[in-house]
Amino acid sequence: MSWPAYVSRLHIRAYQPTAADKVLKATQQKKAIKELWLIISAILAFLLLVRLVRFILTSLFGRRLSHSPACTPTEKSEKNSLELVLPGRTGRASWRRIPAALASGFRIVAFRAQVPLGIGSASIIELVFICGYIATMLSLTLTNTKDLQYWFFEDRAAHLASCQLPFIVALAGKNNIISWLTGIGHEKLNILHRAAARTCLILLWIHALSRAISGLSERTDFSHGWMRWGATGLVAFTLATILGVRFIRNAFFEFFLLTHILLVGIFIIGGYIHARELGFGDYFWPALVVWAFDRVLRTTRLVWNNRGKGGTAHEHGSATVELVSSDTIRMTLRRKMNWLPGQHAYVILPTVSDMPTEAHPFTIASIPRALDGSDGTTEKDVVFLIRGRSGFTGRLREHASRHGICRVPAFIDGPYGCPPDLTGFTTCILVAGGSGVSYTLPLLLNLVHNARAGSSRVRRVVFVWAANADHLRWISKTLSEAIAAAQSTELVVDPAVYITGPTCAIPEIPRASSATSDGSSTPSEVDEGDKELPLYSSLKIVHGRPSIRRILQEGIDGSTGPVSVDVSGPSALTQSVSHMLASKLTSPTSVLKGAPSVILHVETFGMSK
């Protein structure tokens, strides 16, 4: 059956509007668009206000720092013995802690309680934003329509969908004013981007079906090019949404990325041609401006980060790649750039990617400053720890396996993201699984740097990593260097590596380093000609999975001030930590009776979730 014949069968009696109805329709359309943007502006203003208030409170009360970063061994020993004593709990509620208890209850309900959705889970705050957005859009579309008379909302749906296209595109951009105002990273805004885009698609289909079912006049039938362009744009938008569902996006990310850009481009161009005929082309071209603005900034940052003289031996256009375990690649770029611990960047490897301009996001596993508290050199080592799976990362692993330690052409775009500032906490608990260590490791290194520089109030760091045994060789050296650098400060570093494989073959080796009476580190008695051995003496190594409840319980009970819990890894690990921190451990009652406040930061695996 042809499309015109199918439409004719669905044809319903056309509504005969009066002059008053036409005036009401135009007025309600303008009113709905105005109300939509007032709501969006109010939400952004609220988030900006929250950020400013938090910044002011942190500046006034959260940075009472010790101006003496170093301490004598006797002082450090006394501090350690004091920290082993659990802080007193009076068991009585204090009215002074009511704000902290209310804040703890809000965090549990809004951020830590997870609602299963079949294809994953979502927090209450995510569902509130998504469902609230959908309800708002449908309410603006269907109210004041004289008992849902389609004639009143068929065009209003298209106006509401089209007018917010710049907002939807901005939510997906790596450089956008929304992140700058709210402090929310683009990777987290992507959740709202998908919800807004799918709601926009629903409204456009409401517009298309209402128009088609009511009958198309000679002026609006498909003999006109602008109508065909509208249908083409809608089909492209629909395909882009279908290909963007989670299991397709995660399984074929490179294919998704390419088709998404192509299909959305077709949609915006087709929608512009369609709407321009009716005098509403201004809805669409601002979306292209927002997209172009993001691309210009990314290109500018790409050129700036990779600036330097040319030449095959110069490091600014290449990276060192090496296989540090059976499935993990360490990639190091030497660049003149700065970043915050926990941020990520996009890496372009033209000789490894299928397409020369293909950019892949990875968390930066190093810090731009030295562990001794200094700023370090102008050129920094930008290190990435990449787990080789399939696609691009699989090809990179094969390349490193075949060529050993080698150099490849490489370009970097970044940094991006809004990681937490941990300097105002007393205790930090860093939990990672697998390649999630690329997020927690730089946080640890930066805390050591801040302790040496005297710019942090953190007194204890619990570092937990669950991984395979073949990761011990490279991680042990890095952790031992961090522990050695923290020896002359008040910071206590408590690292533990949990070997989750079927076996835990740890070689018996002499002690790699020993601490002298003055806190310095001296090498052990080993033959200088021997190959460098892992520094296991500084680490607690356990065969088995970590007990999340015990780790969090001991860390929170042993803290005399606010606690930050940062977790990165598989969804099972992050959900386990969220579940534990939504229990009695951090309940409002416990906080009311003297338990410390706990803030949870979750870094999800991958940028495509």
What are the average pLDDT values for consecutive 10-residue runs of the chain, which has 609 residues?
A: 48 70 87 93 91 81 45 37 42 79 88 77 85 91 84 89 92 86 84 90 92 80 89 95 86 85 93 92 91 90 77 66 88 91 92 83 92 84 88 88 89 89 92 90 94 89 88 80 87 88 53 38 36 50 88 91 92 88 86 88 60
Length of the chain: 609
Task: Give Cα 402 distance to the centre of its chain.
Answer: 33
Instruction: Give the residue extent of every domain in the chain.
Output: 20-42+105-302, 318-416, 427-504+536-603
Pick the CATH number of 427-504+536-603 from 3.40.50.80, 3.40.190.10, 3.40.50.2000, 2.40.50.140: 3.40.50.80
Give Cα separations from 126 to 227, 284, 580 (angstroms). 37, 28, 20
- The yes/no answer on whether domain 318-416 falls in CATH 3.90.110.10 is no
Q: For residue 449, what pLDDT is reported?
A: 93
What's 359's DSSP letter?
A: E
Alpha helices (runs of H) in 114-224, residue ranges in sequence order: 124-142, 150-163, 165-172, 177-182, 186-214
What's 489's DSSP letter?
A: B
Q: Rounded to 5 degrees, what are φ and ψ at 387?
A: -90, 125
Range 231-254 burial, b when 16+ CB lie within 10 A, else e: ebbbebbebbbeebeeeebeeebe
User: How many Å apart are CA 318 and CA 315, to the nearest integer?
Assistant: 5
The DSSP bridge partners found for residue 407 are 320
Q: What is the DSSP string of 64-117?
A: ---S--B--HHHHHHHHHHHTSPPP--SS--GGGHHHHHHHHHHIIIII-EEE-
**20-42+105-302 maps to which CATH number?**
1.20.120
Q: Rounded to 5 degrees, what are φ and ψ at 344?
A: -125, 170
User: How many Å apart are CA 420 and CA 417, to the nearest integer?
Assistant: 10
User: How many Å apart are CA 499 and CA 283, to the nearest integer?
Assistant: 55
Q: For residue 309, what pLDDT is reported?
A: 54
* Beta carbons of 322 and 400 less than 8 angstroms apart: yes
Residues 23-27: contacts with CB within 8 Å, 24+ apart?
A: 24/144, 24/152, 25/151, 25/152, 25/155, 25/156
User: How many Å apart are CA 139 and CA 198, to the nearest integer?
Assistant: 16
The DSSP bridge partners found for residue 321 are 331, 406
* Beta carbons of 550 and 544 less than 8 angstroms apart: no
User: How many Å apart are CA 46 and CA 248, to the nearest integer?
Assistant: 35
